[in-house]
Amino acid sequence: MKRSTHNIIPLLLDAPTNAIAVEGYRRPDVTGNPPEWRWWQHNRLDQRQSFVHREALATGSSYVSVLPNPANPKEPQVRGYPAIRMMAAYDDPVFDAFPLYALYLEDVNYSKKNRVKGQYFDDTFVYEVEVTDKVRILSRFPHGLGVCPIIRFTPKMDLLGRTTGMVEGVIRQQDKLNQMFLSLLIAQHYTGFAVRWATGLSPVERLDENGMPILDQDGQPTYVPPVLDPSTMLISPNESTSFGQLPAAETKDFLDAIELVVRHMCAVTETPPHYLLSGKLANLSADALAAAESAFTRKVDEIRHSFGESWELVLRLCALIAGDQGGWDAVDAEVTWADKGNRSLAQAADAGVKLFNIGVPTDLILAKMPGFTQRDIDDVKQRLEEQYGSDSLAEKFAQRIGGRPSDEESNEQDNAEQGSEPMPAA
């Protein structure tokens, strides 16, 4: 059974997890990344965001806490928690941004003899607790945020507040897949090789040094047992001898059934089948590849909308802890996501040139370029402003849109007109 286990659920989770990554944060009142983005980098969330995303996609929800650092109250600490170790209670689980309270336990197997430590969060304090057959408060400290500092991440939720993960919907299909691999291995082991047979062979008698047959205890002649291996050639002088071969069992039916189950799991999770069935889609055009991933792209967009709201709450709490009231009040701020699409750089550059020619600003064009991070875009914008000046750039864009010639073009046109005037008569 261990050899037949072929778990592909982690691969199904890898697809959306690798497609979503926050790379920036924007506030209307700040150019570039605002000050709270520093705390994103300080808490190493470029790496740790994938832990939160994967847990939420697998189980349906994960949680993040934002608390002041005990050593420096103006420094936010961001920590992630799995749903199996934390629960949060909401007055309205669909529309409330923050819970009423939340409880985190280091282990769920608590008893009178097994003491488990944890933390209880509300809108005023964080309590250090110990859970056995009852709950004992060890200590508490105020966080001063006015809300319960726990943010929930969920990829999908209905109006009853029920969340759904990717794993639960494909567990039965994964069991079917393991059973099919077991059947395939059994068939390969017992019937996967051709069986050669022969009838009517004349056995070779055992002879002594005098050429006489060697008899057994019943007085019957004994025979040399045949040695059958791939290097043996069987020859028989008997005309009635027959040779034949039993063919190996076909495994194509098993492989087709396995592929069918894998495709069904991909359909349930909206994962492109060619992510798992390599070689099935080859030499596809860009349009055909985009069509094959259309459902997956819509799914990723839905996840980004949900996770984006949660990360915005995380960064607003970071601003509140750092003393930036404007950052906390910026309800219209939003995170920016890395472009993980399959567009080639050549296609994006060609589209970017066309957009630039009709007056679209450079930073907006670069935001659509694959491989350009928000920091790259800010660096390009800064260098352009240093070279041309922000007023000159705005003037160039206005000229493209309005069709007005620049100063240099106007001077060249005036000089051309002056040079074309007729000379006065002598």
| Sequence-separated contacts (24+) of 10-15 with Cβ below 8 Å | 11/275, 11/276, 12/166, 12/170, 12/265, 12/266, 12/269, 12/271, 12/276, 13/54, 13/57, 13/58, 13/166, 13/167, 15/269, 15/271, 15/272, 15/275, 15/296
Instruction: Express as a percent the part of the chain with pLDDT over 70.
Output: 86
Other beta carbons less than 10 A from residue 45's beta carbon: 21
CB 222 within 8 A of CB 216: yes
Write out pLDDT tens, residues 134-185. Answer: 889 999 999 999 999 999 999 999 999 999 899 999 999 999 999 999 999 9
**Distance (Å, whole) CA 179 – CA 200:** 42
Q: Which amino acid is at 202?
A: S
pLDDT band at 424 (very low <50, low <70, confident <90, very high): very low
For the segment 391-397, the average pLDDT, to the nearest whole number, is 52
Q: What's the pLDDT at 381?
A: 74
For the segment 294-306, the average pLDDT, to the nearest whole number, is 91
| Sequence-separated contacts (24+) of 5-10 with Cβ below 8 Å | 5/178, 5/181, 6/177, 6/178, 6/181, 7/174, 7/178, 8/174, 8/177, 8/262, 8/265, 8/276, 9/166, 9/167, 9/170, 9/174
Q: Where in the chain are the domains? A: 1-100+148-193+250-341, 198-247, 343-412
Q: What is the pTM of this model?
A: 0.76
**Distance (Å, whole) CA 337 – CA 21:** 6
Q: Is residue 417 scored above 60 in pLDDT?
A: no
Write out pLDDT tens, residues 228-281. Answer: 777 778 777 778 888 888 888 888 899 999 999 999 999 999 998 888 887 666
For the segment 334-341, the average pLDDT, to the nearest whole number, is 84
Residue 151's Cβ-count burial label (10 Å; 0-12, 13-18, 19+) is buried
CB 322 within 8 A of CB 75: yes
Tokens, residue 333: 């701020």
Q: What's the pLDDT at 286?
A: 64
End-to-end CA distance of the chain: 110
- Looking up tokens 């808490």 gives 43
Q: Which residues contact 181 (CB under 8 A, 6 or more apart)?
A: 4, 5, 6, 258
